[in-house]
Structure 1
């Protein structure tokens, strides 16, 4: 009998037990391997053979991997994820979500046995645990990204997570300070060595990491401009400077005149600090460094801010509230949403409109009044 080539199959009945056997020769790892399938009837064995042949034609594995999902995720974290072109903080977030939510819940299931129903059950379980919509979506995104790699590596034929709708994130209004509260906060923070940092964050809509990564080379006090080109993040390896959140996060923001004056005063105070520590100063050209010139830990910036919030007698909020307050105040002054989008570095105007929709009604009322004044009804 002639040797069968790769991709060819045969079906026969085994005399020993009467079961039908289907055999397929495939090329795996550069050599021919024989795969065997069984069925109670010829039709069942033939269907398994044809399914395997379709998989080969599509470039997929003959059979899905039987390795536990947890074992795959551990390897994925150490290889594919580590090599991915992602910010260090993003890689760490994905790895943490694997360890805390994916491996303990779905990890016992064989990679090839995972179903869309398993993914949906995971989403429902995390909702019952009370996790936020945003966290649940990130867990789903992590799993889907990992399974994309499993398909790429020929471990499974399809990504079952892609058959499940991405969990929705409900609309949440951004917390903002009223103009009175914003003034109270600035008054309470005045005199703090990070006062200029709080003022710039509120006046320019900067993210915490963007502000802490600013260099004096990024600030043009004569022209009144500030350039955002990087961000400071805490990772397992310590503080690192990374790329901004998105392409639009790289931006140039005009400085209000009062902030230009405040930054000049801040620079003078920084020079005095530098003289006090002398040779201990580490020159990184940072606008808002530690007392020794090194990058300021974001957690320390948050502690200083929350102390100012307490002194102002305001409800406890985070530093990101300053960014939201900037957008809210600009929109309340009638600034076009696209200008606000550019100032904050949003990737699209829909993000601006969705996030700050609650501060838009007054602008809509004014627009209707302008229309009424322009027409005779």
Structure 2
């Protein structure tokens, strides 16, 4: 008995050679253009018809996975990071440092935890166990949340490309992340910092940090072209970042064998126990040697345009304008003194030879200023938090603060509304007067 159909329709027939019922369903086309027909088999006609109907239902819903063996999570993460995300970096829709963060978390947490699972057989329970193990290490809850978001985005792309039929990361609640308490300077501490910085070279760099709330990269990437000191306007359109080096050679393994033994870093997972660098031969999964590649690329200090709302135009506080004019005059003298050694990058804050200031050196300068001012060590980013807090305490609306600082979400700006702020204290006084007179 047979029931064969043409024109790409499903077919069901009985095979006397094996005594089984067989069904074939056309679910699409293969990459080479041929019809993609899937086979189902059962002992009875009724059973095989049910299987054929189920496959046709998946086809109608667009949930039939592509032909071929699905990759493991490890294999798909390699494709996702080095093809999908790498393309986004090239077209500017993803920051290079974001991709570096993705790669780091994939290498440290995702691949060791769930890398051997086939991507189509990954279950929500596997993710629950991964997150539980990471929290028990313990890792910061914010790190576990980032891991979840990377997995979810990777699975979303896999589903869009019909490698899997569903994103299991959407079947469980995302790990909650505790809000990190910000530690801004007080008004008096900020003024003490400005007094100390005023005596130093590039001292107005810290006036800009506290008055404008620029990120470190935005301050170090600030250029004179984007400052209008007559109108009192600053265009925050560029930032300086240190990016990780990449191999430029065709065979990174052979390159590692030849050049990288002394450049081994702790992120070489193949031989963390080696204190003196790579053993011989260098393992194939050694990933810490890009910096020593003779044809290295895409790394070091680079200028990048900020993304989204980070690219903004902001008014300059009037007292800051004469400080920036003085900075410009001082820099002109340095340029004359440097003569042929000067490298012109149009930077507002630069080394004595005009080259960009290394973020590490900038951090050291900040710590030295805090110590000289009699203050505890703080992050460079706390200067930005100080600007946001002072704006809020002086009655500036959250939407305006959000625009000035370049926040993408109001939730981030709301961290500056402290309960103990002067505005909250004034509100408490007014409430007391309303109730008790």
Q: Same fold (TM over 0.5)?
A: yes
Moved more, 182-191 or 170-179: 182-191
Distance 1:123-1:270 versus aligned 2 partners, 3 A rule: same
| Residue in structure 1 matched with residue 302 of structure 2 by the alignment | 240
- Are 2:167 and 1:106 equivalent residues in the alignment? no
Residue 386 (structure 2) pairs with residue 325 (structure 1): yes
Contact 1:7–1:53 (Cα < 8 Å) also in 2 = no
Once residues 25 and 43 of structure 2 are traced to their aligned partners in structure 1, the CA distance between those partners, rounded to angstroms, is 18
Q: Secondary structure at the match of 2:158?
A: helix
Shift in alpha-carbon separation, 1:34–1:333, aligned structure 2, 3 A:
closer
Match of 2:221 in 1: 213
Give secondary structure in 2 for the equivalent of 1:257: coil
Q: Give 1:70 deviation, angstroms.
A: 0.5
SS at match of 2:132: helix
Q: Which residues of 2 match residues 118-267 of structure 1 at below 5 A?
A: 118-236=126-244, 237-247=299-309, 249-267=310-328
> Residues 21, 285 of structure 1: CA spacing in aligned structure 2 closer, same or farther, 3 A cutoff?
same
Partner of 1:26: 27
Residue matched to 2:125: 117
Aligned residue for 1:300, secondary structure, equals: helix
Q: How many Å apart are 1:215 and its aligned residue?
A: 0.8
Offset of 1:79 from its aligned partner? 0.9
Q: Report the Cα distance in structure 1 between the residues aligned to 2:23 and 2:420, rounded to whole angstroms.
A: 67
2:422 equivalent to 1:362? yes
Cα pair distance change 1:152/1:308, threshold 3 Å: same
Deviation, 1:140, is: 1.2
Q: Give the SS at the match of 2:345.
A: coil
Corresponding residue of 1:77:
81
Q: Taking structure 1 as reference, are residues 232 and 42 closer, same or farther at Cα in structure 2, changes over 3 Å only?
A: farther
| TM-score, normalising length: structure 2 | 0.77
SS at 2:145's partner residue? helix
- Quote the residue 2:12 is aligned against: 10
Q: Structure 1 residue 350: deviation in Å?
A: 3.3
Paired positions, count = 374
Aligned to 1:61: 64
Aligned-partner Cα distance in 1 for 2:346–2:20:
77
- How far apart, CA to CA, are the structure 2 residues paired with 1:27 and 1:349? 45
Instruction: Give, in whole Å, the separation in 2 of the partners of 1:332 and 1:62.
Output: 56
**Is the aligned partner of 1:281 residue 2:342?**
yes
> Residues 31 and 163 (structure 1 numbering): CA distance in 2 closer, same or farther, change over 3 Å?
same
Which residue does the alignment assign to 1:290?
Answer: 351
Shift of 1:230: 2.3
SS in 1 for 2:314: strand
Q: Structure 1 residues 241 and 39 mapped into 2: Cα distance closer, same or farther (>3 Å)?
A: farther
Say whether the 8 Å CA contact 1:214–1:286 is kept in structure 2: yes
Give the Cα separation in 1 of the matches to 2:35 and 2:375.
72
Matching of residue 37 in structure 1 with residue 70 in structure 2: no
Residues 45, 293 of structure 1: CA spacing in aligned structure 2 closer, same or farther, 3 A cutoff? farther
Displacement after TM superposition at 1:300 (Å) = 1.9
Offset at residue 361 of structure 1 (A): 4.8
Larger mean CA deviation between 55-64 and 337-346 belongs to 55-64
Distance 2:375 2:436 in 1: 47
Which among 85, 95, 112 is matched to residue 103 of structure 2? 95
Q: Is the 8 A contact 2:197 2:203 kept in 1?
A: yes
8 A Cα contact 1:229 1:244, kept in partner? yes
Question: What are the ranges of 5 or more consecutive residues in structure 1 without an aligned counterpart?
Answer: none
Structure 1 residue matching 2:94: 3-state secondary structure: coil
Counterparts of 1:245 and 1:313 in 2: how far apart (Å)?
Answer: 37
| SS of residue in 2 equivalent to 1:261 | helix
In 2, Cα distance between equivalents of 1:201 and 1:7: 68
- 1:129-164, CA deviations, whole angstroms, 9 ceiling, x for partnerless residues? 222222222211111111122112221111111222
- For 1:45 and 1:313, the matched residues in 2 are separated by 81
